[in-house]
Structure 1
């Protein structure tokens, strides 16, 4: 079959790498792709939001399956565009992708169906939000309602910080229309865990757990980013927690969406907080996480195309989802200055070291080929270096060994990815 992947980040490189292993796939395309994806797929210069060109391309190449990677196109209706054109697509329709696309929608859904989450209030007016904050218990969490590249969440320790946050989101419009409405949430204490799942509209199969590192600097300091590294599985995601989540969160979410006439087919990423009162949902994502995908897919045993097709066809219960009994750690190599101001266009050296190395992967995010066909940096997050190990400590040591293989002029990374492994 012929497959088209929409996206060009580290997540899409990991998906493409996994898709390319399927014996069902004869030809793989990616729009727009990157320098790493170009080694396993034919990259096409079509933007992720250009649905008309994507559909036209898919028709002209007689594409059998489209996989939409990023959140922006899904929330804007990418899957609908392909469905309307009669092309099979993996990813939720627009009416279901609002599970991620609107924080207030997802919070209201959880409240209505009794899914555990933090207490919250929603505001369309900065004035009303500021009045509410005067009597709110600090710290609080402010969240832009819409998509903000994973950066539209502000943790405010004082009233002044909270007021500044409201101004940043709602008045200064730092994240544009995403901040027209905000959610003010109670601050939850605990460990964050990410859990990825496949959903076929009615049934859900959990993949495995992972733990992300959002802050730019060591020690969880600095600004929020799209993610500076991750590990899988999380040692804090115990069998007891899994049983609780299966009973009160996972299937309950799928059922709630179905009840709202928003049947969800695709990936639901559960951002959980493990609190003293039990697990609670921090957020939902309607797609694979980045960089969580880079540690989850290398551990997955199944042919991913079979799983994607089962989700589309509503036959997920026929799939025996299996993962290796091992561990993976991903360290993101970024451009110094990310997530704010950074230079790009620097040659990336040492990538050949990963060729033929079993259990070591360099998943490209912000990379492209220059005129001489040399891979150069082309974004804030440049590469995700993933390594496997028999256990988390071994995987972490392997990942930090492998980051030494690669170099570019303004290479920057965190040195404490997986520090929580020692606390387990």
Structure 2
């Protein structure tokens, strides 16, 4: 089999690595891929990104299945275009992808189908939003409607912070149109959890839970990032929490997808908040998370390609995903200055004695070596029989990686 993976981050490296383990897979093309997929077994990078060029490539190279990593191509309708050409592709169509592409659409979907979520108001002009923040309760949350590379959500503790966020989103237009319309949402106090799931449109199967660490500094301080580390499973996802999630969020979401006639065969990522009042849905993503994917796939015993094919064949009913009875800890190594400005082009050295798995995100291959090219450069995933053992292994091993200015949090997976 020949596969095509769309995307070039750490998530796509992890997907390529996992798919390549299937003995039927001859070649995994990564478009555009990165320095990690360049060196990965069975993988080859192809420097194309436009949907028509990807379609031509899939036809010319007899690609059996295409798997879409990031959200932007899904929102742009890559699945719709591939299917018009009779090509097999894993991911929701543009209608389904709107669950991530528009926060307003997602919140209205949740409300319509009884998915448990925070109270909210929608605004499409600065003046009415400004009037609202003068009298609302704090803290509260402001969300950009469109895609903002994981940075379109701001928790505002007071009027001054809300005023600044509103001006950034709606006046200064820092997200190039994605923040012109906004959601202002009730702040939920609790612990976040990430639960990936796979659906064929008829059946939905949750993956093992995980816990992301979004903020740049230890103790969850500083600005939000794309994610600085992950543990799986999430210790806060008790049996009771998972039962509430299943009844109040998972089943109601699948019902909505069916009632809306979405052509949704792919991944749904649920960002949930575990509160004293119950389990609430914060947001949908319509693809695997990054870096959640890196930790979760390292614990998956089942074959990922088999799972994808079963979903595309509408045959997930009674499928049981098998998981290792272990814990995983993923620590992200970032460029100095991230998530703001940072320098690129530093050589990365990885000790041959390193254990666990290193997934590359923001690094490119240059003369058979790796050079930094992004903010989140790489991550190390290690496993253990306990969470503490997994943490110790991850931190022991990230010390074996070097590049100028490498920065990582020291408290990933530390449970309060």
Common topology (TM > 0.5): yes
Aligned residue pairs total: 414
Structure 2 CA distance for aligned equivalents of residues 224 and 246 of structure 1: 28
1:366 correspondence with 2:385: no
Displacement, 1:24? Answer: 2.3
Q: Contact 2:102–2:147 at 8 Å: present in 1 too?
A: yes
Partner SS state of residue 411, structure 1:
coil
Where structure 2 has 5 or more consecutive residues not aligned to the other structure, the ranges are none
Structure 1 CA distance for aligned equivalents of residues 258 and 132 of structure 2: 34
Partner SS state of residue 176, structure 1:
coil
- The residue number in structure 1 matching 2:177 is 177
Partner SS state of residue 257, structure 1:
helix
The TM-score normalised by the length of structure 1 is 0.96
Partner SS state of residue 209, structure 2:
strand
The TM-score normalised by the length of structure 2 is 0.98
- The residue number in structure 2 matching 1:129 is 129
Query: What do the CA deviations read for 1:307-339 (whole angstroms, capped 9, x no partner)?
Result: 101111111114221111100000000001011
Q: Contact 1:351–1:362 at 8 Å: present in 2 too?
A: no
Structure 1 CA distance for aligned equivalents of residues 192 and 413 of structure 2: 13
- The residue number in structure 1 matching 2:412 is 417
- The residue number in structure 2 matching 1:310 is 310
Query: What do the CA deviations read for 1:378-405 (whole angstroms, capped 9, x no partner)?
Result: 1000001110111111000000001011
Displacement, 1:351? Answer: 5.1
- The residue number in structure 2 matching 1:63 is 63
Q: Contact 2:229–2:412 at 8 Å: present in 1 too?
A: yes
Displacement, 1:135? Answer: 1.4
- The residue number in structure 2 matching 1:239 is 239
Where structure 1 has 5 or more consecutive residues not aligned to the other structure, the ranges are none
Partner SS state of residue 23, structure 2:
coil
Structure 2 CA distance for aligned equivalents of residues 136 and 351 of structure 1: 53
Instruction: Indicate which of 395, 401, 404 corresponds to 2:390.
Output: 395
Structure 2 CA distance for aligned equivalents of residues 318 and 25 of structure 1: 25
Displacement, 1:347? Answer: 0.4
- The residue number in structure 2 matching 1:381 is 376
1:44 correspondence with 2:46: yes
Q: Contact 2:269–2:285 at 8 Å: present in 1 too?
A: yes
RMSD of equivalent CA atoms: 1.0
Q: Which residues in structure 2 correspond to 1:128-167 (within 5 Å)?
A: 128-167=128-167
Structure 2 CA distance for aligned equivalents of residues 262 and 124 of structure 1: 26
Query: What do the CA deviations read for 1:283-308 (whole angstroms, capped 9, x no partner)?
Result: 11000000000110010011111110
Displacement, 1:417? Answer: 0.6
Closer/same/farther in 2, CA of residues 351 and 257 from structure 1, 3 Å limit: farther
Displacement, 1:263? Answer: 3.4
Q: Contact 2:113–2:255 at 8 Å: present in 1 too?
A: no
